[in-house]
Structure 1
Amino acid sequence: MNKIRIPAKNSIDGTLTIPSSKSYAQRAIALAGLSKSSVVIRNLTDSDDVLAAQGIIAALGAIFVRSGKDLILKSGIDMNCDSEISINCKESGLSTRLFSSFSLLFDEDFTVNGEGSIAQRTMEMVIDGLAAFGKSIDSNKGKIPLKISGKTLKKKVEIDGSISSQFLTGVLIVTSFLKRDTEIRVPKLKSKPYIEMTLDLMRYFGLKVEHKDFEIFQIKGNQSIGEELVYEVEGDWSAASFHIVAAAVGGHIQLKGLKADSRQGDKVILDAVKRAGASVEWRNGDLIIQKDELLPFEFDAGECPDLFPPLAVLAAYASGKSTISGVHRLKHKESDRGITLQQEFAKIGVRIDLNGDEMVIHGKGTPIVQKEVTFSSHNDHRIAMAMSLLSIGAEKSIYIEHAGAVDKSYPDFYKDFLTI
């Protein structure tokens, strides 16, 4: 899908079931691939990133079948491979960084490749992290493809956590299966909620990790996943954030499939919309968001950078200046989201200033869109979804170029959004 027209929406009102979390799904698929017993993963949403993770464990020798939304693992990856290994992570940042760590399980040469925007994203944290274990890595000037060789030698390593926690997620999972114990030091860890997700899921799969304030991780080696397991993937708070903001600026929504006690970091979107004046209520397990007085707000998104696009929309609809901090986390996404948001919002006269680590949005109130306008997703799924929200209260239709970017995480986004 190259371009989509989204008609102007007077208001938001409806009920939706949120797709399952791709972050949890990719972690669960990686862990299932390491299991010695059967594993059933339920409630999978077939986003591009989830399909990429499935393809990777298949390339590593795992055998599974899909039945509806269930993945049924018959046997895990082949740990006794004696030939060169190659995986294609497609356009998934998490899968690229997570499954790069699987090279630690093999002495054979291990190539990591991908497609699209991932080819332009730095892999320095992966390269440095693997080198700390004693691996040799050839790369394309710090980007994929990565050609990884040599033995896994070190048992005490330091990993940079200041840019992304995704490689650390993979290392925590994989070191549980090495023949010796591992100690990992992680100065300046960002996105701690994502590591909490990883540890939560590892515990579910029966693996043990100890840590001291998320700075020193101690992992016992020779662990295994021996029990038959059934795991159901919970709803995706990252996907839900766009509908939550839609209701906060445009009316009312009832969302099903979310966990109130979820460890997903993007659940803090509720704090943001409450600061902006929306009503938030849990009723019989469903989340209810109701628009009220819309106010400018301040919010620190340093631990949840994927919330920047919907938060920018929320701020644009509030009359006045809102400030979101954590801009340094935006460069290494599908696009440089700080610059991308600045460019796209300028098309409708909403000024965004990037001041060091702060994004300042000068909100206009409504209506924001007074004439037909075409936004570009920059091939970034979260930008495509965010720009779609600007149809709320618009006077004319809007268009999204490269609209198919949403397939990466939420293939049914437009269908769902157009029904509320």
Structure 2
Amino acid sequence: MPRFYRLGWASAGDSLDAATNLKYLITPGGSLQGRLRVPGDKSISHRSIMLSAIAEGTTHIRGFLEGADSLATLAAFREMGVEIQGPEHGELSVKGVGLRGLRQPERPLDMGNSGTAMRLLAGLLAGQRFPATLVGDASLSRRPMRRVTAPLTEMGAQVLTSEAGSAPLHIQPVSSLQGIDYHLPVASAQVKSCLMLAGLYAQGDTCITETAPTRDHTERMLTAFGYEVSRSGSRICLKGGGRLSSCDLEIPADISSAAFFMVGASIAHGSDILLESVGINPTRVGIINILRDMGANIDLTDKRMAGGEPVADIRVRSARLRGIRIPLDQVPLAIDEFPVIFVAAACADGETILTGAEELRVKESDRIQVMADGLKHLGIEAEPRADGIRILGGELGSTDGGDGIHAHSDHRIAMSFAIAGLRARGPVEVHDCANVETSFPGFARLAAQAGLQIEQEVV
């Protein structure tokens, strides 16, 4: 028999995993209201564990995201001998072991669904004196890894992949790594960060030149731990063999999670929400810039710094959106937020065109195709293209009478179509939603508290 939960996640005694068929059932209408605090930033949470583990001394962290992805990173470092207390309500302490203090894990390190964790850890483990294997779930095991293994090989690392260039990654110890001067073929913070972490263990300088700005959380956090990173224009360099010193870290609320409520409040008539303490790193604010270009009513207040990262409270009120051609320079600044931006485009007047975003094809799902399929299911004209999509705004329909929309176990697809239900003509049913817990534990509960009429069904 199916089980229903009207205001969020299952009870504490109910354990759901990625294999569970969790459905969202959204009743249309309503508006979003109130003050909300979304969970801590996932990208920063990953990095906080990695760098505090190889620092000297004990690092105290607040605002840590207790989602499956970041908890997988935490578990990996416990497997490598790092003493970690917590997390409890987002707070934890990590007793660092220094650059050379990690121990060989007794089993493969399971990264679950997290591409960030796997790619960054590949760099950090490439310079260790022990072998290690990185594995993941079925989705992660299909994602391309040669983008990190190829430059790591140039540094002298030994990393074996599947024939398809995907996980599992078998990393063998080498006598030493050598710094390289690497030009990123595509904008990727994950590749950049992977090479920077490997560079900590390399002889000489490791330099990376970006084709376009990408999130700079690794550079900022290394600096917070006292490790020198130099930047000149699009070129970032660090020298291997230094040391990291423990510090206190405060992780801001995740702008990628806030994005769902920013779009929801923009498209739902009568909405007015305040999102508290959201990270507004300049390399992550594409969602704000794009929505403002579309006519969204967004105000940033109480701007301040937290843990080396800029944060602000974000107020969003409903607005009439218009279709736009999304500027190319905003694509890397909003790469994770495009699924919900597509929902905004579906509710906007006129045509929205995205190009230069082929990276969306190799995320947890093919986000271009999956979003286009779901929008078409709701009656929206959506034309997928090799590197983007064309969406003609219109009236969202319903999945009533059909088999629903399939999120393909992609957390951002699931949440995006849940938000789309605010403007649908009838009920919207979204399948394969269990992986939402990887990045946004408690999403349905918080959304319901804000005004989204959402139920969950475990089949």
- The TM-score normalised by the length of structure 1 is 0.91
1:23 to 27, 30, 43: 43
1:314 aligned residue:
344
Asked if the contact 1:4–1:400 (Cα under 8 Å) also holds between the matched residues in 2, the reply is yes
Higher RCO (CA < 8 A, seq sep 6+): 2
CA distance in 2, matches of 1:213, 1:98: 23
1:392 maps to which of 394, 418, 422: 422
1 CA distance for matches of 2:399 and 2:96? 56
Aligned to 1:71: 92
CA distance in 2 between counterparts of 1:56 and 1:193 reads 26
The superposition leaves residues 114-163 of structure 1 with CA deviations (integer Å, 9 ceiling, x where unpaired) of 12310011111122022111122221111111112233342234364416
Report what 1:124 is aligned to.
146
Once the two structures are overlaid, the 10-residue window that deviates more, 34-43 or 274-283, is 274-283
Partner of 1:225: 244
Matches for 1:15-414 after TM superposition, within 5 Å: 15-66=35-86, 67-76=88-97, 79=100, 86-141=108-163, 142-149=165-172, 150-158=174-182, 160-162=184-186, 164-176=188-200, 178=201, 180-186=203-209, 189-190=211-212, 192-194=213-215, 196-215=216-235, 217-226=236-245, 228-250=246-268, 251-259=270-278, 262-263=280-281, 265-284=283-302, 286-300=313-327, 301-303=330-332, 304-364=334-394, 366-369=395-398, 371=400, 374-414=404-444
Q: Compared with structure 1, are the counterparts of its residues 415 and 294 closer, same or farther at alpha carbon in structure 2 (3 Å cutoff)? A: same
Deviations 1:212-243 (A, max 9, x none): 3223x3212222123x4110100111111110
The one-letter amino acid of 1:222's match is G
1:390–1:69 distance in 2 versus 1, CA, 3 Å = same
Q: CA deviation at 1:20?
A: 0.9
Question: Is the CA contact (8 Å cut-off) linking 1:234 and 1:257 kept in structure 2?
Answer: no
1:76 CA displacement: 2.7
Aligned residues: percent identity?
Answer: 22
Q: C-alpha deviations, 1:82-121, integer Å up to 9, x for none? A: 7577422121000000001122322322222112310011
- Shift of residue 259 of structure 1? 4.3
Retained in 1: the 8 A contact 2:126–2:158?
Answer: no
Paired amino acid for 1:408: T
Once the two structures are superposed, what CA deviation does each residue of 1:342-379 show, in whole Å capped at 9, x if it has no partner?
A: 11111111121134434110110x45438465111111
TM-score, scaled relative to structure 2: 0.84
Structure having the higher helix fraction is 1
Note the residue ranges of structure 1 that are not aligned, 5 or more in a row.
Answer: none
Residues 178 and 204 in structure 2, CA contact (< 8 A), matched pair in contact too:
no
The DSSP-based 3-state class of the residue aligned with 2:167 is strand
Quote how far apart the aligned CAs of 1:275 are. Answer: 2.0
The farther-off stretch of 91-100 and 165-174 is: 165-174
Secondary structure at the aligned position of 1:234 is classed as coil
